[in-house]
Amino acid sequence: MEATAVSFADQGSDSVVEFCCAECDETKEARFDCENCLKFYCEECIEPHNKLYKKHNSFARGGVNKWPLAKKYMDFLERCEVHKGKQIEFICEGHDKLCCNTCVLLNHRTCDVKLLSESVINKPWPGIRKLSTKIQHIQGQTKEMKANFRSELETLEVSYIQRVHDIRDVRQKVITALDMLEKNTLRELDDMKSCFQESLKSNIDDCTKINADLHMFNDILPDIGNKSKELQFIAGKKIMDKIQVSENISMIILLKWIIQ
């Protein structure tokens, strides 16, 4: 049976066991790997194993280059990033894309797709040093971009707060201006009302006086016919003057309403 890396996290604990002993408690961390058995062993189980299989080659954890990758790293490398849970098995030569069987079925059916086991034979390995240098360079750039984005985020927050303050300040100024406009308009309206009231009351008084005088003249008319010419003339003159005044007042009132 081929040795595989297993990740195990103890319940209630933050510790993670990446390689478990194949012979004893599966939660016990392995410290040795047998190249022949393809199994992991803890410190207690490796001794009887070595006595029983003296020709087997076992490597301590320090010889990490002889050990398989931990499960979390294997999953990280072998799992398709698009279709979770699917294992990468192919490469599309035309698009230079790693693919799982679902990728091939959905997006690369008409492409030049090859099995990884066949394709890697002619693929050069860039080398650990070159890849590590590139990774460190990209990490540096990413770190710098992250810092810039955070700075822009802080600037955005400050700008947002300032804009909100400006909007509320303008709002308050508008409210103050509207309050002042309302106050001035109401004052002008009150003055206009008072002016109209005085004018209307004056017109009412004039109409009352004219009506009283005309009523008096109307009472006099039946008795003035047999009086002297001078008295008739005076009565006629006053009546015509009063009628003229009444007509003038009516015309003035009408003009006022038209102008207003």
Band of residue 121 on the pLDDT scale cut at 50, 70, 90:
low
> What is the pLDDT, as a whole number, of residue 143?
92
Contact assessment for residue 18 and residue 7, using Cβ atoms and an 8 Å cutoff: yes
One-letter-per-residue 3-state SS of the chain: CCCCCCCEECCCCCCEECCECCCCCCCCECCEEECCCCEEECHHHHHHHHHHCCCCCEEECCCHHHCCCCHHHHHHHHECCCCCCCECCEEECCCCEEECHHHHHHHCCCCCEEEHHHHHHHCCCCCHHHHHHHHHHHHHHHHHHHHHHHHHHHHHHHHHHHHHHHHHHHHHHHHHHHHHHHHHHHHHHHHHHHHHHHHHHHHHHHHHHHHHHHHHHHHHHHHHCCCCHHHHHHHHHHHHHHHHHHHHHHHHHHHHHHHC
> What is the pLDDT, as a whole number, of residue 9?
46
For residue 44, CA distances in Å to 16, 23, 39, 48, 148 come to: 20, 10, 14, 8, 52
Where are the chain's structural domains?
Answer: 1-78, 83-123, 131-259
Mean of the pLDDT values across residues 142-146? Answer: 93
Percent of the chain clearing pLDDT 90 (strictly above): 24
pTM over 0.85: no
Decide which of 3.30.70, 1.10.3470, 3.30.160, 2.60.40 is the CATH code for 83-123: 3.30.160
pLDDT in tens, 158-188: 999 999 999 999 999 999 999 999 999 999 9
pLDDT in tens, 186-234: 999 999 899 888 888 888 888 888 888 888 888 887 777 777 888 888 8
Residue 253's Cβ-count burial label (10 Å; 0-12, 13-18, 19+) is middle
> What is the pLDDT, as a whole number, of residue 39?
80
Other beta carbons less than 10 A from residue 172's beta carbon = 10
Q: Average pLDDT, whole number, for the chain?
A: 81
> What is the pLDDT, as a whole number, of residue 65?
55
Q: Look at residue 13 and tell me whether its pLDDT is greater than 50.
A: no
Mean of the pLDDT values across residues 12-28? Answer: 65
pLDDT in tens, 22-48: 787 666 778 888 877 778 888 888 888
Q: Across 14-28, 37-51, 89-103, 127-141, which has the greatest mean pLDDT?
A: 89-103
Instruction: Return all residues near 245 (Cβ < 8 A) that are at least 6 apart.
Output: 210
> What is the pLDDT, as a whole number, of residue 24?
78
Residues 35, 96: Cα–Cα separation, whole Å: 34
Q: Across 69-73, 108-112, 168-172, 247-251, which has the greatest mean pLDDT?
A: 168-172
Band of residue 4 on the pLDDT scale cut at 50, 70, 90:
very low
- Which residues on adjacent β-strands are paired with residue 114? 91
Mean of the pLDDT values across residues 233-248? Answer: 83
> What is the pLDDT, as a whole number, of residue 68?
61
Instruction: Return all residues near 16 (Cβ < 8 A) that are at least 6 apart.
Output: 7, 8, 9
> What is the pLDDT, as a whole number, of residue 8?
44
Q: Look at residue 69 and tell me whether its pLDDT is greater than 70.
A: no
> What is the pLDDT, as a whole number, of residue 71?
63
